Chain A
């Protein structure tokens, strides 16, 4: 019943809807796609959206090689979602662990971690991506590692501040006075109170990761060109934007809706499950 109350928030509802559509598309891509996303049909290239020639129907048209755009977009949800989830997860794990430690123990540990974050954030992130790609080679794993390496600081800073706040609250002092050690207090007292914030950060980070994945696909640093990605489709469509605008518009719309949905989910969750309200 608590879940239903949270879903009543319109932003959460919209975000969950978008996320469900993404997951269904990614998981059921083979069944849902009207065509093989790699199947070329040079006689039917640059079909307009909605045009149906003979027995072939292409709701969102075809590209320069006659491949079905809708099918490519559906398959493109896979790398987008994998990157979003895995990258946000690892960035979250690393950032949260360091943020909790810095916020709770303070002192020199906090100073060291905070300095590290400051220095890290002053690195130009685009440069970091390119260097990583040069070292690791193009591919999904490169995209994920790049996002984790750059964005763990986002989690770290927010979690550190929140941990410091939680630590100053009475319930933590109570936990100390019943003899609980710092490990227990962090894991079973503070972390559950930071969890709603983490959920919000996580969904926001997923949105960011989708954009970064698209950018890196666009510049050719993501998966090999055989696998359709939203950024890759934009990149291919760029050459024909005067003849076939939908080649760029359709994947862009996917990215925009996905990011909007995830951001709405993050913001909505922050409003809906703020533990302060429950107090």
Chain B
């Protein structure tokens, strides 16, 4: 099978004065059915990568180099209208904050059936039935009642389940999850991760999983891409990366991650010298590519 999502040498530049480079020759691939972890500290550009794929990059940012191909089709410069049939249907999105990602004044029912009726050409009752089935698939109890409720009547974990149901509703080929558990408390986080893995196994959907949490990556992902300062520093199979990280930054990231089998005082922050060196490298790259 051919690669599902192929990002090649992607540059994203903010058209401000002076222009700011948000992504620097980013390349990554997601194979069908694979879970790829995208890790890196805050500001690395992880969200920007997902926003380019979804076509919701900031209005003043432009792709100035490289390409995004989905299912062997170049989608880098699709217009909004051209991209719409893909979104929700082939490529779906699980947002970071379930508290704000649902329309506050609309009931849950129509928020789920919207995507079904939009893409699957279902009638009202068929869509309703499908929505019920979806809520069961994400293990929400009393799905009938939830369909009639407003978002503020549900807990954060329940809302995230609803959003996951929406993402998987049309059996997309790729789901992009941007830190889907960061806004939730720890016990709920685990359940949500389990749910995502379960749905992924049942549907064979590929997932681009964005996170800070290396522990999650170790459990969930087949492949890992490490980003810093808008560029990819290392990209490897998960097993290989955890056994034998080659980039100094990846090793520093491991050392900075809390683990159960290691006392907290062994945690080391990412060395300032390393960050400085990476920023210097980025400057050299910018000069070369300008």
Contact = CB atoms under 8 A, between A and B. Distances in A.
A171 interface: yes
A180 B89 CA distance: 11
A178 interface: yes
A177 B87 contact: yes
Interface in A159-193: 169-171, 173-182, 188-189, 192-193
A279 interface: yes
B56 A177 contact: yes
Contact of B101 (A174, A193, A275): A174
Contact of B85 (A171, A179, A192): A179
A174 B81 CA distance: 16
A3 interface: no
Contacts of B84: 179-181
A278 B85 contact: no
A178 B114 contact: yes
B106 A192 contact: yes
Contacts of B104: 171, 193, 275, 278-279
Contact of A180 (B56, B114, B152): B114
A178 B166 contact: yes
B-side interface size class: 20 to 34
Q: Among the interface residues A106, A174, A180, which one has the most CB atoms of the partner chain B within 10 A?
A: A174
Interface stretch (B90-98, B258-266, B269-277): B90-98
Interface in A251-276: 275
B71 interface: no
A189 B86 contact: no
Contacts of B42: none
Nearest to B176: A177
A177 B92 contact: yes
A192 B85 CA distance: 25
Given A178-B87, A179-B118, A278-B150, 15 more contacts: A171-B103, A171-B104, A173-B95, A174-B95, A174-B101, A176-B56, A177-B87, A177-B93, A178-B118, A180-B84, A180-B88, A195-B105, A275-B105, A279-B99, A279-B151
